[in-house]
Amino acid sequence: MKRALRERIDISKISKYSIAANAMQILFAFGIFLYALFGREFNLTGRAEQVLVGAMALIVIWGAGLDIRDAFNARKIARQSEMLEEAYGQLEDLNATLRAQRHDFKNHLQVVFGLIELREYQEAQEYIERVYGDVELVGRSLKTAIPAVNALFAAKMADCEEKGIQMDVQI
């Protein structure tokens, strides 16, 4: 639900419009302030009126500046949220891969157990060596210190293996 709402509301676009509108507001307030101070037709007879107009202009400029800052912060938070969603997706992929590996491991143990029960020791040894070689291939890809990168490599290697694509990664 949150993701669907975010797709309808483009934070980047909204923040750009907010920045542009507030920048125009700042320029307009500054122009009024200058006109009030130096304009001939603008009759501010006393110093109090000039200070009042100046204070109003400064308040408008300050408020617009805060809005611009908030718009930039909203864009930054939106980018961080996108990165977190991507990392979460990668962790979900890793979790699915680990579940699949656990399932496969249980199946391999059942095969080995069955071969040993049938006293097919040579066949059990060959089967274990074959499975061990496959595990070694997967283990070679997980060499970074960043779990998200390891998860990405593992997921991509699993995809390649399913499609029969040979993949060689050097880190």
Please name the amino acid found at residue 90: Q
**Quick check: 140 pLDDT over 60?**
no
> Is there a domain that residue 51 lies in?
yes
Q: Measured between alpha carbons, how far is 115 from 37 in angstroms, rounded to an integer?
A: 97
Alpha helical stretches, state H, the chain: 2-8, 11-38, 47-117, 121-141, 147-163
> Is there a domain that residue 168 lies in?
no
With beta carbons less than 8 A apart as the criterion, state whether 33 and 54 touch: yes
Those residues with Cβ within 8 angstroms of residue 9's Cβ, 6 or more apart along the chain or in another chain = none
Q: What is the pLDDT of residue 113?
A: 92
Say yes or no: 125 and 153 in one domain.
Answer: yes
> Is there a domain that residue 25 lies in?
yes
Measuring CA to CA, which residue among 86, 55, 56, 71 is closest to residue 23? 71
The chain-wide mean pLDDT, for the chain, equals 78
What is the mean pLDDT of the segment spanning 142-152? 71
> Is there a domain that residue 130 lies in?
yes
Q: Pick from 24, 53, 83: which residue ends a domain?
A: 83
Q: Pick from 56, 83, 110: which residue ends a domain?
A: 83
Say yes or no: 21 and 67 in one domain.
Answer: yes
Lowest mean pLDDT among 19-23, 53-57, 133-137, 139-143: 139-143
> Is there a domain that residue 147 lies in?
yes
What is the mean pLDDT of the segment spanning 128-136? 79
Say yes or no: 50 and 108 in one domain.
Answer: no
**Quick check: 39 pLDDT over 50?**
yes
Say yes or no: 78 and 93 in one domain.
Answer: no
Number of domains in the chain: 2
pLDDT band at 1 (very low <50, low <70, confident <90, very high): very low
Measuring CA to CA, which residue among 55, 82, 73, 59 is closest to residue 19? 73
Category of 107 on φ-ψ map: left (φ > 0), alpha (ψ -120 to 50) or beta: alpha
What is the mean pLDDT of the segment spanning 125-148? 73
Lowest mean pLDDT among 24-38, 92-106, 128-142: 128-142
Compare 153 and 6 and report the one with higher pLDDT: 153
**Quick check: 122 pLDDT over 90?**
yes
Say yes or no: 146 and 73 in one domain.
Answer: no
Say yes or no: 69 and 98 in one domain.
Answer: no
Q: Measured between alpha carbons, how far is 2 from 89 in angstroms, rounded to an integer?
A: 15
Q: Pick from 37, 68, 83: which residue ends a domain?
A: 83
> Is there a domain that residue 48 lies in?
yes
> Is there a domain that residue 171 lies in?
no
Domain of residue 23 covers 2-83
Q: What is the pLDDT of residue 118?
A: 93
Say yes or no: 153 and 120 in one domain.
Answer: yes
Buried b (16+ CB within 10 A) or exposed e, 95-108: eebeeeeeeeeeeb
> Is there a domain that residue 170 lies in?
no
Say yes or no: 78 and 97 in one domain.
Answer: no
Say yes or no: 7 and 78 in one domain.
Answer: yes
